[in-house]
């Protein structure tokens, strides 16, 4: 049996350093300048290291960091079908086109929404795919929840069969995203093996007067609870924007900001900025809100708030805020910080702030 595997080596590099993606050479150069490190390979390693050995399974892959290096290191049988010294979107498409010609049973890819679009351009709906999440933006519905769950999804697909679903691939305007505006449209569909507990849904959006009132109630409560001398780290999203407006400060809508004594001390901060602030202001709280429908409150769109940052602040000081309307459409909450131990410690039931002095116990998977 043949499987295709392609890694976008630069996927997700912009997240921890406060960029909104790495599409394009300028964004990649800036990410490297800020000290970004590749993470996509380690995400695929998490998945493949758990995959049971299946007789006759051979991977087709790209050269070097596109898959060859990892498969060789894991002693997994493979064949390199395309190579490039500087992998790009064109190389992802070239690999996938060859996979299709060779008759693979499934294609695995590591990346974000941009990589999903590249895969779709090459294969359309002609072969099932499984996305292993690694990008900054993952609004599409073609990704498993985590690398570990991608492993379970693939194993079940290969050994017992799973139904296929037409899953949405979203086109995110990255220039607008970097400027703090979310502009998304449906790009197309890919076929994915489907099991509801293992695959993330497309990001949900919630608007309207009632939702705004819910956010205002949450913001009023958070503002009342803020104390002098405490560093408050505000994650992305409109709920956090409502909090910022309530206390009279500006908010980077799709970035992470830090507030101390009613003033913004770091706008659109990266992981390194937050670490520096915490060295002088160790008493801190983190406020985050889950992505609608998907449920992720760590590891999606807020990679600046890394596992290292959460540990420094303390998980007891990590506060989840969510409008009730959003929670009704979000079955469970999820974490995918890249740190398995931290993710385990956050699972179980968690109190979520849903209004003024109101909370709800929600399960975290």
Note the pLDDT tens digit of each residue in 37-88: 657 788 899 899 888 777 889 999 999 999 999 999 999 999 999 999 888 8
How many Cβ atoms from other residues are within 10 Å of residue 58's Cβ? 13
Residues 117 and 261 in one domain: no
End position of a domain, from candidates 141, 165, 193: 193
Residues 356, 229, single domain; the answer is yes
Over 70: is that where the pLDDT of 308 sits? yes
Angle at 139 between CA 137 and CA 140, to 5 degrees: 120
CA–CA distance, 169 with 172 (Å, rounded to integer):
10
Considering only CA atoms, which of 4, 351, 343 is closest in space to residue 362? 351
Measure the CA–CA gap between 360 and 57, rounded to whole angstroms.
46
- The domain containing residue 85 runs over which residues? 2-193
Tens of pLDDT, residue by residue over 274-300, are: 999 999 999 999 999 998 888 999 998
| Continuous segment of H or E residues that includes residue 80 | strand 78-82
Q: How far apart are CA 130 and CA 116, in angstroms?
A: 10
Q: Of the residues 193, 226, 250, which one is the last residue of a structural domain?
A: 193
Calculate what percentage of the chain has a pLDDT beyond 70: 87
Residue 203 lies in a domain: no
Q: Which of 19-33, 132-146, 283-297 has the lowest mean pLDDT?
A: 19-33
Q: How far, in Å, are 15, 169, 212, 240, 302 from residue 235 at the CA level?
A: 13, 25, 18, 7, 6
pLDDT of 28 reads: 52
Q: What single DSSP character describes residue 103?
A: T
Q: Among candidates 339, 290, 287, 336, which has minimal Cα distance to 313?
A: 287
Alpha carbon distances (Å) from 297 to 15, 151, 175, 217, 335: 14, 22, 24, 20, 6
22 plus 77 within the same structural domain = yes
- pLDDT, one tens digit per residue, over 174-210 is 665 555 565 668 899 999 999 988 888 876 655 555 7
Structurally, how many domains does the chain consist of? Answer: 2
> Is it the case that residue 30 has pLDDT exceeding 60?
no
Looking at the fold, whether 178 and 249 belong to one and the same domain comes out as: no
Contact (Cβ atoms closer than 8 angstroms) between residue 35 and residue 29: no
pLDDT of residue 193: 95
144 with 241, same domain?
Answer: no
189 and 105 in one domain?
yes
Looking at residue 307, its pLDDT comes to 94
Q: Are residues 267 and 354 in the same domain?
A: yes
């Amino acid at each position: 049996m043949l499987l295709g595997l392609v890694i976008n080596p630069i996927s997700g590099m912009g997240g921890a350093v406060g960029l909104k993606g790495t599409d394009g050479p300028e964004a990649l150069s800036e990410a490297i300048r800020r000290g970004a490190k590749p993470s996509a390979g380690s995400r695929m390693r998490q998945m493949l290291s758990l995959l049971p050995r299946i007789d006759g399974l051979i991977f087709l892959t790209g050269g070097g960091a596109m898959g060859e290096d990892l498969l060789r290191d894991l002693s997994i049988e493979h064949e390199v079908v395309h190579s490039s010294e500087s992998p790009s979107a064109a190389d992802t498409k070239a690999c996938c086109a060859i996979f299709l010609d060779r008759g693979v049973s499934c294609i695995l890819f590591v990346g974000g929404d941009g990589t999903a679009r590249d895969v779709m351009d090459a294969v359309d709906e002609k072969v099932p795919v499984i996305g292993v999440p690694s990008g900054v933006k993952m609004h599409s519905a073609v990704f498993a929840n985590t690398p570990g769950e991608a492993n379970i999804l693939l194993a079940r697909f290969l050994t017992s069969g799973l139904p296929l679903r037409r899953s949405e691939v979203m086109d995110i305007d990255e220039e607008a995203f970097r400027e703090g505006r979310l502009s998304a449209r449906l790009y197309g569909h890919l076929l994915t093996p489907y099991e509801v507990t293992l695959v993330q849904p497309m990001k949900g959006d919630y608007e309207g007067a009632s939702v705004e009132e819910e956010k205002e109630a949450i913001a009023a409560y958070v503002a009342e609870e803020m104390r002098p001398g405490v560093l408050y780290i505000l994650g992305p999203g409109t709920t956090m924007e409502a909090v910022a407006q309530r206390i009279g400060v500006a908010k980077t809508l799709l970035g992470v900001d830090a507030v101390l004594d009613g003033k913004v001390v770091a706008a659109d901060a990266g992981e390194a900025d937050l670490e520096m602030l915490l060295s002088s202001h160790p008493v801190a709280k983190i406020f985050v809100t889950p992505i609608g429908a998907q449920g992720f409150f760590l590891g999606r769109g807020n990679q600046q708030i890394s596992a290292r940052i959460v540990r420094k602040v303390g998980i007891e000081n990590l506060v989840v805020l969510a409008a009730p309307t959003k929670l009704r459409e979000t079955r469970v909450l999820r974490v995918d910080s890249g740190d398995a131990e931290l993710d385990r410690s956050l699972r179980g039931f968690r109190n979520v702030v849903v209004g003024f002095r109101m909370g709800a116990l929600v399960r975290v998977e």
